Amino acid sequence: MKCGWRNFLAAVCACGLWAGAAAAQTTLKLATMAPDGSIWMQALADAKAEIETATAGAVKVKIYPGGIMGSEQDVLFKIKTGQLHGGGFLGYAINVVCPDVGALMFPMVFRNYDEVDRTLEAMRPFLDGRTRAAGFEALGWTEVGFSYAYSVKPIPSLEALRATKVWGLDSPMLMELLGAAGIASIPVDVTDVLTALQTGLLDTVFGPPTAAIAVQWHTKIRHANALRLTYALGGVFLSSAAWNGLPAAHRETVKAIFDKHCRQLTPKVRQSDVEALEFMRTQGVQIAETTPETRAAFEQVAATALQKVKGRDFSAAAWDLLQQTLREIRGP
């Protein structure tokens, strides 16, 4: 009889321990527009596997790729309602989870990758704090890339660009630049851009080279300009509620692993863009080199556009910190 009670109590304890272990398991549900098989999705998958191993299964990660949870706007709504916990964002959502990152994505800010790397590292504490104030935790920042102009017509200068039918894309910063330049744009959903190029509705489009190849724009455009118009950042973000809901013992592990894989992703994105531009050349796309005159013309237009967006789309504090950082990098 005693033995029976012992067995019963042991079973109860075992069940209690099992239930406690099950209750302690946390599953993070993240969505991304990055398609399955892309370098962005591979980075998320690698982080997921490492997190689950490092936490001995206490933290699981579920990733929904390729926009199956809807647009980034849809994903933000699902995060707000608790259906999702966060996302790997590459576009629209970045300006929501951290509006001040718009300062870094303003046209004509960066001249090269060295400036990008050193500026982002210097401003990360500021950006992380702004993200937290918006109700999210930044687990890692990574590169989406520089955007270039591509066209069915030669676009060696700002004047030549004005003479084309320009895409009105969902990029507030670049749209402000076009507006300040007096360029009327034609709004077309990104999924319909290739058709618009085929039918002649559009002549000129914008985006990072890897993205332009992925959506087949290179099959219709014949010209591009090597001027780096805007720079875009992406990253992995959790809602503050999901971050605070993680077991305290695992928070820094989860963040460190996502940060590591985001950092490792950046050089892969850059190499992919280099290869994409070279591939365009092999397909007959002529890429005009940027002259000092063209750069100066675009910088002048950007300065005009800045007056509208500073203090509205991003804070004056963010812009001032960015400019101070760039002055220190560039020197006298």
> What pLDDT, in 10s, does the model give residues 213-270?
988 999 999 999 999 999 999 999 999 999 999 999 999 999 999 999 999 999 999 9
SS3 143: strand
Percent of the chain with pLDDT over 70: 92
- All domains in the chain, ordered by first residue: 26-330 (3.40.190.170)
Q: What confidence tier does 21 reach under pLDDT thresholds 50, 70, 90?
A: very low
User: What's the pLDDT score for residue 53?
Assistant: 97
SS3 213: helix
CB 287 within 8 A of CB 218: no
Task: Give the pLDDT confidence of 288-317 residue by residue, as tens digits.
Answer: 999 999 999 999 999 999 999 999 999 999
Spatial distance between the Cα atoms of 152 and 160, rounded to a whole number of angstroms: 12
User: What's the pLDDT score for residue 74?
Assistant: 94
User: What's the pLDDT score for residue 35?
Assistant: 86
User: What's the pLDDT score for residue 330?
Assistant: 93
HSE of 4 in the Cβ direction (CA atoms, 13 Å)? 1
Type of residue found at 129: G
User: What's the pLDDT score for residue 91?
Assistant: 83
Largest CA distance in the chain: 95
Average pLDDT, integer, range 17-42: 77
* Torsion from C-alpha of 80, 84, 89, 94, nearest 10 degrees: 10
Average pLDDT, integer, range 196-221: 93
What pTM, to 2 d.p., does this model score?
0.86
